[in-house]
Amino acid sequence: MLILFNIHYMAPCTDELFVNVKNADGSVEAHRMTQWQDGCWRCELRFEPKGVELLDYYYSVQRMDNVLRAEWTTQAHRIDIGQTGLAQYTVYDTWIDIPHDTYLYSSAYTQCINRRGKQTVYRRTTPSVLRLKVRAPQLRGFERLVLVGSHPVLGEWHLDRAVPCVEQAPNEWVCDIDAEYTATEELEYKFVAVKESDVFDSPMWETGENRRVTMPRMRRGEIVEYELQQAFFEIWNVRKAGTLVPVFSLRTEGSFGVGDFGDLKKMVDWVAYTGQRILQVLPINDTTITHTWTDSYPYSCISIFALHPQYVDLRQLPPLADKEKARQMESLCKELNALPQIDYERVNNAKHEYLQLLYQQEGRQTMASAEYKKWFDEEQRWLVPYAQYCFLRDSSGTADFTQWHGNEQWQETDRAQLSNPRTKAYKQVAFYYYVQYVLATQMRAAHQYARQKRVILKGDIPIGVHRQGCDVWQEPRYFNLNGQAGAPPDEFSINGQNWGFPTYNWEEMLKDGCLWWVRRFQNMQKYFDAYRIDHVLGFFRIWEIPRHSVHGLLGQFQPSLGLTAEEIEAYGLHFRRGRFTRPYITKEILESIFGEERAQYVRDTFLDPYKEGLYLPKAEYDTQRKVEALVEDVNLRDGLYTLLSDVLFIADTRNPELYHPRIAAQHAYIYKTLLSESDRNCFNRLYDDYYYHRNTQYWYKEAMKKLPRLVEATRMLVCAEDLGMIPECVPTVMEELRILSLEVQSMPKEMGRQFGRPENYPYRSVCTIDSHDMPTLRMWWDEDFNRAQDFYSTVLGRRDDAPHPLPAWLARDIMSRNLQSASMLCVLSLQDWLAISEKLRLPDAGAERVNIPANPRHYWRYRMHLNIEDMMKEQRFCDDIAEMITQSGR
């Protein structure tokens, strides 16, 4: 078969166009095109289908061996070549950039909101065909596309004789016109959106003038395809509502003390029942390090692929053959499920024991099935190292792989033994294979169930991984283990946040096209149709904290453009390295921090005299980690932390000749006591320029090296948490890549505003009142009475005193205003939904908090206090939510 690719593209003489054909194995073959007229490019390709029916490809522009520009690859071009007797396929394409309505091509829309069922492959029925291809992403799930026009073949403008179009790819429709009856004629036509059930029930004609096409001369057995400009219809942008709740927080009548993948289905039922379309959850990856409650932190995964065993729904598994053990487990299930919060250790120990018993009972049969073997082949790349990691962790009693003598790093040579059921090595790890198979099967079923209910399951991709996790053990080259990821100070944590994760070695990751991240995203699409990128700012730059630090104040953005001593001097500040980069400790500062009596003890115990009136920490106390290990008194320890972070500049971790102004240095004693007013002014100018302007273009380029590859790796709807200290370039990147931003009314992005204005939020955004890291609406309302009064008066326009605690009617008013925002999605926490009911809300608002970011050892154990089954029966509550959503146009 001969395929002729044609495209019009104006390029300078130094550039060439290539057509890149995707093979069945995922590889891409690039074919050079020839410019036969000004701007007209062509490529002839001899192709033998050999079982291939659909051919996907995209165009790119290259100069020498460098790709300057490429089309939107998530959904570029597709042709159907699996037709009998087809000799030649000629296509005339148009260049496809990332569209503004990218979200309509996401599986969140094509598989959930606008779900139309299985796609049909088009097959020609005549010897010669003119194929018209058009994109119509606005069509809703109950609509299809037809073509009607002036010629008898096109129905002479009668809808009952219109030519049906077939959706050959998401939102991409093709229509075949018999060339034998229309040769060389000019045809006038339009596309019409009609209902599946009745073409005469409210048909919608595309906007704009009638389209025209002149039939080309064609040979027998040829298809000529014209790719047309998008069809637009008078269909408004959809806005949808949803709920945020961690899976572990779910509760049903039969769950085992923690939410599970079976409970997730019941939550989908409630979401759909109340007219919502999104169910957002927190990360569900395995976080098991110590088998204690400290593993409850869902953002510290040990594997970006493995699911957490606590989410297994035991009700979906065969019953235990041991009747006495089954009775004991049933009793324990009821006991744990009656607890107000999660007992992480008891729940996970019990589920682990249950799964061990079931594995001994059912494992051999399950793992002999064709379904299991297929799954193992697909997942073995990550699964085998993960299972070996788990075995070594549990058998050695530690996750610190530096102590696994002979196994300090994953050895690829071990894979064969670990994959062979006849070996001892396989038998040692097979249990972990079995557990992950059960989890994957249940989570995929929950995903499909949500799609059938037209509910978008939205997952969460943490920015980091545990430094002792399987990912680091398997591929350490991707990580910088001498640093800790975190966040600079904010209103939630005045000392910044230290998450403890290793930072990424982006230089190494970029060498293979960020394959680690691509695989991570592609694995996630097996379970979700939308995702939230946790701390998307980390793809621009990450706040990297030295290993010797506990707090985040001594961190620096990496990568970033540090300052030379000469550049600092250029701001008018005389740079003194020894003075500005060492802790500035005087008698007065010590008395201010510790009090006059204790200051003497601190001087004698922890400090050495340095110069007249100045002190330096003793060597055994000169880092925060050393202090943490040796000092038990919390107040004393925090005071020493403050001393050690009291510097004006921090040397760059990669180049000691470069410096970064210490974050929030204006609150440091060195700033207040050492600098003159003139020096403070100079420092402030330097500080503002460094943090808000100097790195803008640099960080833009850094983000564009990484994020485009990840955004186009899947069809999931891309959302991002873009809160915090936001560089100027972030909105630009988000717009270019069509990533949905996060908008929180209490954290406005408009300068000078105390509260955000939901009516002004961008359409491509997610509106919410709070996240898992924030106090719930009820907690926020009572945290600061003055701020609540400002909100009550300025936002709600009320003149009386704000009531406390927050009454249900007022919670409903605040939530309704957020639902009416311009944002595409409005996702509210389950706790906030419950706040609109005086009957159902938890009496203690403080017990609804999911996480406290300022506490790195927070116990993640919040669980909804009522069963989902009982919540479904609260008709007034459910009807109230449905009414709020309907009234908001969602």
- Left if phi > 0, otherwise alpha if psi is -120 to 50, otherwise beta: which for 334? alpha
Q: Which two tokens stand for residue 61?
A: 């522009």
Buried residues in 589-611 as b, exposed as e (16+ CB within 10 A): bbebbbeeebbeebbeebbeeee
Residue with tokens 């408004």: 236
Length of the chain: 890
* Half-sphere exposure for 803 (CA within 13 Å, toward CB): 6
Q: What's the confidence (pLDDT) of residue 84?
A: 67
Q: What's the confidence (pLDDT) of residue 121?
A: 55
Name the phi and psi angles at 211, rounded to 5.
-85, 155
Q: What is the rounded CA–CA span in Å between residue 621 and residue 108?
A: 53
Residue among 431, 497, 500 nearest 472 (CA): 500
Q: What is the rounded CA–CA span in Å between residue 450 and residue 435?
A: 23
Residue among 542, 550, 548 nearest 642 (CA): 550
Is-contact 723 744, C-beta < 8 A?
yes
Is-contact 682 573, C-beta < 8 A?
yes
Q: Which two tokens stand for residue 664?
A: 């929030």
Listed as own residue / partner, the contacts of 66-74 with beta carbons closer than 8 Å and 24 or more positions apart are 68/15, 70/20, 71/95, 71/96, 71/97, 72/96, 72/97, 72/98, 72/99, 72/102, 72/712, 73/712, 74/98, 74/102, 74/105, 74/711, 74/712, 74/714, 74/715
Is-contact 418 411, C-beta < 8 A?
no
List, in sequence order, every beta strand (DSSP E) within 450-527. 456-461, 479-480, 483-487, 497-498, 503-504
Question: From residue 143, how far is each of 136, 195, 861, 875, 882 by CA, in Å?
Answer: 11, 4, 45, 32, 25
- Which letter does DSSP use for residue 542 in this model? E
Q: What's the confidence (pLDDT) of residue 682?
A: 95
Question: From residue 59, how far is each of 77, 96, 620 by CA, in Å?
Answer: 9, 9, 61
pLDDT along the chain (890 residues), means of 10: 94 94 88 92 87 88 92 92 81 95 96 80 69 96 94 92 92 89 80 87 93 87 93 95 98 97 98 98 98 96 98 97 96 97 97 97 96 97 98 97 96 96 96 98 98 97 96 97 92 87 96 96 97 96 96 95 96 89 93 93 94 92 96 95 96 94 94 90 96 96 96 96 93 96 94 92 96 94 95 94 96 97 97 97 94 89 97 97 96
Q: What's the confidence (pLDDT) of residue 48?
A: 79
Residue with tokens 């019953």: 319
Q: What's the confidence (pLDDT) of residue 674?
A: 84
- The residues near 805 (Cβ < 8 Å, ≥ 6 apart) are 778, 781, 782, 845
Query: CA dihedral defined by 587, 590, 596, 601, rounded to 10 degrees?
Result: -100
* Whole-number CA gyration radius for the chain: 31
Q: What's the confidence (pLDDT) of residue 746?
A: 93
- The residues near 598 (Cβ < 8 Å, ≥ 6 apart) are 636
